[in-house]
Structure 1
Amino acid sequence: MTDMQHKPNGWNLPINQMTEEEWKDYFECRKKYDIKLSDEEIKKIIKIAMHFIDTDHDKYMEESLKIPVPPNLAISYKAFNGLKAMKKFNLSLAKETYPDEF
């Protein structure tokens, strides 16, 4: 669940501490970035991102972050880096597998 009344599991751990304003921003990011994509859409994003890999790191990262993070990678990243560090990731797949974690 992704609203202020239902913060994700582990919200109160030191690594996930955020102010109420930061939580608001986090949940706005969930609405903005967690987009379910088809395989074709993902392939298209990868092709665009690879075009920028050697020429424009920022554009490469912008495109790459649109790709849904695999669930097991997302849960591991959360454990080591915290929710705030992954607020701009596409967690659509991870939320399907771990609905209470993001």
Structure 2
Amino acid sequence: MIAAALGWVGTMGTFAAYILLWRGKLGSDSLTYALMNTVGGFLGGAASAYYGAWPSVASNFVWAAVGLQSIVVEVRRRIRSRRSRATTAMQALYEPIDCLV
């Protein structure tokens, strides 16, 4: 019963992610979209494993891995962006001083 519920939650999560993407509410590079797909894939894969549906386990875990890769790429992009903005802000602080010297 619990495995079935987890499987349904995972399936609905991945469907919801796609519908939100299709309607323009989420972007394909959005962290929310990647998280919904990752969690949905893991839940669907876990439920499939409980029932011994190995092809479904494989496809769901691959789906979760793709979502996890998207999360890693997006988090790294955000870190680089913040570092770049911080560097630009620091340069702007020191720019007037450099002009006086």
Q: Same fold (TM over 0.5)?
A: no
Higher relative contact order (CA 8 A, sep 6+): 1
Q: Radius of gyration: which is bigger?
A: 2
**What TM-score comes out, normalization by structure 2 length?**
0.31
**What TM-score comes out, normalization by structure 1 length?**
0.31
More helix by share: 2
